[in-house]
Amino acid sequence: MRILLIQSPSVEGASQEKVYPIGIVSLAGCLNKAGHETAIIDMNLESDPFGALKEKLLDFHPGAVGISLRNIDPLGNKTASLVPHFSVAVRMTAALMPRAWIIAGGTGFSLFPERLMQELPEIHYGLIGEAELSLPALLSSPGNPPPLKGLCVRKGDRIKITPPSRAFDMAHYRPPDRELLDPSRYLDINSYVPAIGIETKRGCPFTCAYCVYPKLQGKKVRRRPPAAVVDEIEMLHKEYGIGRFHFTDPVLNIPCGHLEEISEEIIRRKLKVKWDGFMREDHLNEKNALLFEKAGCECFSFSPDGLCRESLEALGKKLSEPDILKAARIVAGTDAISVYHFMVNVPGETEETCEKSVRMLERIYNLHSRKRNLGTIVLNNIRILPGTRIEARALAEGVITEGTDLLYPVYFNPPPFDTLRYRLETMHFHRNVFMWQEIR
């Protein structure tokens, strides 16, 4: 069967940072191995995304179409939604290819499968979670699919959803076949974030109150062999000239030893590459930070989220203020830059916690002032997502109601501290500009 895999728009505009869609490229490789003929379109790369989609559909004439909704919205306190773009892509596909099977998936779809399938009757099936095994099995018999993990199927007016697979053995992980979508198109496309992602593991054992990673990938950490990870990096570096990578793991430096082995292998092979990823503060020490930097880490990204003890506890981070400051002190001594993500106006915010938040930001700036290696501090309100403890708290405190539509951007930001983010951003922006301009 001819199968077209579509990455629907996952950024707000043409100027936004884009990423190589390793999910659909990996799936295309699985489908080719099963005997299908596949094609891929990443609508994010197109100046006229829907014109390009129309042309691809009419030229390729697929018997089945997989459409990935990676992001439901841009986050970052924005109120724009990416669901309309996905909806139009589905409807255009149905209008132009009325005989084709339409299958929806992706991280964003996995958060709202029932809702999206009810609103878009053009979707025949949905797949939530990991699909390396389920998608080829579904397309082997789309008219009468076998029982599959993660399958969303229509039963009259209802959508029956089977729990997703969260147990794919990462030792059997097949790197995306980059010949199916040329990575060269993504070279130098971004100003900040490396466009090429590398997946070293799946799963997250932490229980942060706002996060959906454990729901999507499970709590068990499943690792790829370090040598296999570096094989992929080396191939991309030598064959495509890619020198910068982003590790896509929920938390890169867990469990202890895994990233260390990857770094040692990069050094052993003398690969001159740069990379970044999100790291856990309490798993970082002076020894492994220097190892990571030597292996090419150009940016230590942290997401401690809470700016003080009370906020950390409300968010379920299982971190302390000393953990954050110790990690900041370590990375401030390197030549890599660092980026910190924090959430503001978290549940239980008070005047006292606001003042503690200011002091935490000041301490981080002071630590980085000598080498001026603080990239930025990102301040966000909490995007409320279904099934999280933040959703339950927002309901209990009247921030949302049972009728609140979480498909579209809804943030936890009740008064009286609903302008706290602007106060902290002003302070952060002032310190950032003065630091880089060497003004005291």
Same structural domain, 118 and 221: no
Quote the pLDDT of residue 17: 85
- Which CATH number goes with the domain that contains 14? 3.40.50.280
Quote the pLDDT of residue 216: 86
Same structural domain, 23 and 137: yes
Confidence grade of residue 91 (pLDDT, cut at 50, 70, 90): very high
What is the residue-averaged pLDDT of the chain? 95
Residue 372, domain member (yes or no): yes
pLDDT tens per residue, range 404-423: 999 999 999 999 999 999 99
Residue 145, domain member (yes or no): yes
Same structural domain, 116 and 197: no
Quote the pLDDT of residue 436: 85
Structure tokens at 20: 């190589």
d(CA 314, CA 93): 44
Same structural domain, 288 and 191: yes
| Sequential DSSP letters for 82-145 | SHHHHHHHHHHHHHH-TTSEEEEESHHHHHSHHHHHHH-TT--EEE-S--TTHHHHHHHSTTSP
Question: If you average pLDDT over residues 167-190, what whole number do you get?
Answer: 91
Quote the pLDDT of residue 75: 83
Question: If you average pLDDT over residues 76-92, what whole number do you get?
Answer: 95
In the chain, the percentage of residues whose pLDDT exceeds 90 is 91
**Whole domain around residue 378: which residue ranges?**
182-436
Residue closest to 88 by CA, chosen among 96, 76, 100: 96
In the chain, the percentage of residues whose pLDDT exceeds 70 is 100
Quote the pLDDT of residue 192: 85
Residue 171, domain member (yes or no): no
Quote the pLDDT of residue 62: 98
Same structural domain, 216 and 263: yes
Is residue 264 pLDDT above 90, yes or no?
yes
Quote the pLDDT of residue 132: 93
Same structural domain, 10 and 148: yes
Residue 428, domain member (yes or no): yes
Is residue 60 pLDDT above 80, yes or no?
yes
Is residue 275 pLDDT above 90, yes or no?
yes
- Which CATH number goes with the domain that contains 260? 3.80.30.20
Same structural domain, 16 and 102: yes
Is residue 64 pLDDT above 80, yes or no?
yes
Last residue of a domain, one of 102, 129, 161: 161
Residue 287, domain member (yes or no): yes
Per-position b or e across 69-105, b if 16+ CB within 10 A of its CB: bbbbbbeebeeebbbebbbebbebbbeebeebbbbbb
Are the CB atoms for 339 and 295 separated by under 8 Å? no
Same structural domain, 107 and 204: no
pLDDT tens per residue, range 362-415: 999 999 999 999 999 999 999 999 999 999 999 999 999 999 999 999 999 999
Residue 327, domain member (yes or no): yes
Question: If you average pLDDT over residues 201-218, what whole number do you get?
Answer: 93
Is residue 188 pLDDT above 80, yes or no?
yes
Residue type, 304: P
d(CA 260, CA 258): 5
Judge if pTM exceeds 0.85. yes
Lowest mean pLDDT segment, chosen from 10-19, 39-48, 238-247: 10-19
Quote the pLDDT of residue 314: 97
Is residue 14 pLDDT above 80, yes or no?
no
pLDDT tens per residue, range 307-331: 999 999 999 999 999 999 999 999 9
Same structural domain, 109 and 249: no
Confidence grade of residue 76 (pLDDT, cut at 50, 70, 90): confident
Is residue 270 pLDDT above 80, yes or no?
yes
Same structural domain, 125 and 205: no
Quote the pLDDT of residue 277: 97
Is residue 77 pLDDT above 70, yes or no?
yes
Question: If you average pLDDT over residues 142-157, what whole number do you get?
Answer: 94
Helix (H) or strand (E) holding 251: none
Quote the pLDDT of residue 272: 97
Is residue 15 pLDDT above 70, yes or no?
no
Residue 176, domain member (yes or no): no
User: How many folded domains does the chain comprise?
Assistant: 2
Residue 173, domain member (yes or no): no
